[in-house]
Structure 1
Amino acid sequence: MSGIEIKCGDAISLLKELPDSSINLIVADPPYNLGKDYGNNHDLKGFDDYLEFTRQWTSEAKRVLKDDGSMYVFMGVRFISYLYDILDREQELFFNSWVVWHYTQGLGKTKGFSPRHDDILVFNKTKNFKFNLDDVRVPQKYYRARNNMRGANPGDVWKFSHVHYSNPNRQNHPTQKPEGLIERMILASSDRGDTVLDPFSGSGTTLRVCQQLGRKGVGFELNPEYVEMTKARLSEPFNGFDSVDPRMERVPNDLRKPEIRDEYLANHINWFLKNHENAIDVFTKAVKEKYGVLLEAKGESKSKQDELF
């Protein structure tokens, strides 16, 4: 668990113990104030009390963030506009992106439209922020010479499945986030050795991802049972993150020239599926079906003798 630290206590109090400008990236999934039961506390404050709570923790978060740092904050629909206003006008952070996390399964409604997304606000401490585009690119749908073989910007709509209850990595927590979702944030907005803070650690997803990506992780969690659960999770062997953007598994069309196709296929797994071993089979089968090419263990391609292209 080297470089990973989980502390039990109130987020605002623990934030006040951190030095100024000591954190490279903050990934925050605060309670949405919807009445969910988190074991030793219920997520239900008065409206004004919740806004004051948001002001206090975001003020401390801004203080501890480094000048080139970023903050990703999950929020439900009821308070998302207020959160934006607090981060933008009151904390005077710099707006970066409004990310929509789209998922295919969720609460069903018979009157009204069923919700199928969560919102994530991305703000920066200054205009000089860190962003590693090459680390979060997604494969192109069509290969063209003018396109970057390394892939495209993933955009601000992210599709990741929930961590289903049948998933072996599912924790006993009501709002567990997919590891692939957090992976993209950490790869985009921090470097190896950087310090990532999750002030509402919950099931420990951010710390688990930091552990595998070579980041220092600091987590705060109010519920001591979740702290112990996180410690147990961090001690488990790693077999790949529990979720992946389905675009990472796709094979670009029109890779007809063997020399271009072989160069691309030799790199795809390292570029897009490095931490997603459970998705490699899907990709290799798609390659064989589309191009009649067999991929060797290291991601190199081997064309059939009757290759048509």
Structure 2
Amino acid sequence: MTLEKKDSGNSIRKMEFKNQTVFFKSSEHMSELEDESIDVVITSPPYNRGKTYSSDNGEIHDDKMEDAEYYSFLTTIWSECYRVAKKSAVFFLNIGDSAGDQGKSEKVAKSAENASWKRIQDIIWVKSFLGKGHYTPSGGNRRLNNLWEHIFLFAKKTKEYKIDPKAIGIPYTDKSNIGRYSDTDLRDPGNVWLIPYTKTTGASVKKGHEAPFPIGLPYKCIKMVPSAKTVLDPFGGTCSTLAACLKLGVKGYAYEKYPRVEVIKSRILEGKNFHEIEENLIPHLELSLNLINNLLSDTSIIIPVIKSKAEFNNFQILNEVLNNLNIDNSFKKRLEKRINHFRESLNKKKEQEIKFRQIKLDFES
């Protein structure tokens, strides 16, 4: 159900859509939100590079202020975000440097610190790698193209916030680490995230909206915060953040002064069918290639019997690589059979050890 509230001029000022709320106004004064009501803030502010935006009402905004005015404007909004944020809240701020405008991201991060936010960490968002993803060519013959952007992580109170990296964890490649470093087959994904960026095309671009980040970016940020129930994006744009909120079943709020309502609805609905794609850069590439070469170089392609845990771990790595490559042939089936056989033998050995310990305890008692 869509609930749209209009002002006296018949302009839509607020929209409730799929349990997500969009306020069509500037976020400089977020009077609609109570103090300490938001768990997570996620946004990508306008980069102030002279880009023109237009709304359904024909309003035109030229994204170009004097630097001092721009950073003061951001600090005002970050201060409002600070006001509505709970003491345990975190703030993910996405900003990138253009090839010809290096250093702007650091100044934007500083504007958040000027609003009392405490900087915790810099996450690197890799937009394009080895042909995956998109970036805007801008280097020319003087600079290399930028393939990544910052996601600055801030906290309102450094002793109050919590994140759970394993909520977005990736499987251990070396399975022997399970039990040694973790109780599950997941490890901290680190602060370099490959989330391929696909440039929005068609009507949404013509209407002045290019999604500043893919849905996967706010999805990952929100998922990492165990207390996340309310999320705010003060620069909503096409509302990718609310699409992620829809997918995760949390309440999202966004502010967008120059809205394209149908574009926003369409983007939010994309969250319903969003599926996260795991993109590991090149985990254990050399080891994987050596294993493949050694095993497949034998013309008979006989898979040897697994005799040790080290071999077992290596075979699991190989099987994971073949899964990622979508290889499903007779070789892979026989490989899985070897892995399962050794796993069964390990389980039987563990059961025997448990029985032996129990017998020993019974005897001693």
TM-score (norm 1): 0.76
Q: Give 1:16's aligned residue.
A: 31
Shift of 1:38: 2.2
Query: 2:124 aligned to 61, 76, 100, which one?
Result: 100
Q: Give 1:199's aligned residue.
A: 234
1:285 lines up with 2:326 in the alignment: yes
1:81 lines up with 2:113 in the alignment: no
Shift of 1:171: 4.7
1:130 lines up with 2:162 in the alignment: yes
What pairs up with 1:46-85 in 2 under 5 angstroms? 46-77=66-97, 78-85=103-110
Shift of 1:292: 2.1
Letter in 2 for 1:155: G
Judge conservation of contact 2:123–2:191 (CA < 8 Å) in 1: yes
1:189 lines up with 2:225 in the alignment: yes
Judge conservation of contact 2:95–2:149 (CA < 8 Å) in 1: yes
Instruction: Report which structure shows greater RCO (CA 8 Å, sep ≥6).
Output: 1
* Pair 1:181–1:282, CA change in 2 (3 A): farther
Identity %: 22
* Pair 1:209–1:255, CA change in 2 (3 A): farther
What pairs up with 1:1-309 in 2 under 5 angstroms? 1-13=17-29, 15-39=30-54, 40-77=60-97, 78-88=103-113, 90-104=114-128, 105-106=134-135, 107-109=137-139, 110-127=141-158, 128-145=160-177, 146-148=180-182, 149-165=184-200, 171-172=204-205, 173-191=209-227, 194-225=229-260, 227-235=261-269, 238-241=272-275, 244-247=277-280, 257=312, 283=324, 285=326, 288=328, 292-293=332-333, 303-304=336-337
Letter in 2 for 1:67: K
* Pair 1:215–1:255, CA change in 2 (3 A): farther
Shift of 1:144: 2.0
Shift of 1:219: 1.0
Q: Please provide the CA RMSD for this pair.
A: 3.5
Judge conservation of contact 2:43–2:93 (CA < 8 Å) in 1: yes
Report the structure number with the largest CA radius of gyration.
Answer: 2
Judge conservation of contact 1:34–1:44 (CA < 8 Å) in 2: yes
* Pair 1:47–1:291, CA change in 2 (3 A): farther
The gaps in structure 1 that reach 5 residues or longer are 269-280, 295-301
Shift of 1:132: 2.0
Q: Secondary structure at the match of 1:114?
A: coil
Judge conservation of contact 1:139–1:247 (CA < 8 Å) in 2: no
Shift of 1:135: 0.9
TM-score (norm 2): 0.66
Matches of 1:138 and 1:10 in 2, distance apart? 38
* Pair 1:71–1:165, CA change in 2 (3 A): closer
Report Cα offsets for 1:7-30 as digits up to 9, x if no partner.
1111213x2332110101000111
Matches of 1:67 and 1:306 in 2, distance apart? 48
Letter in 1 for 2:198: V
Q: How many residues align?
A: 276
Judge conservation of contact 1:38–1:174 (CA < 8 Å) in 2: no
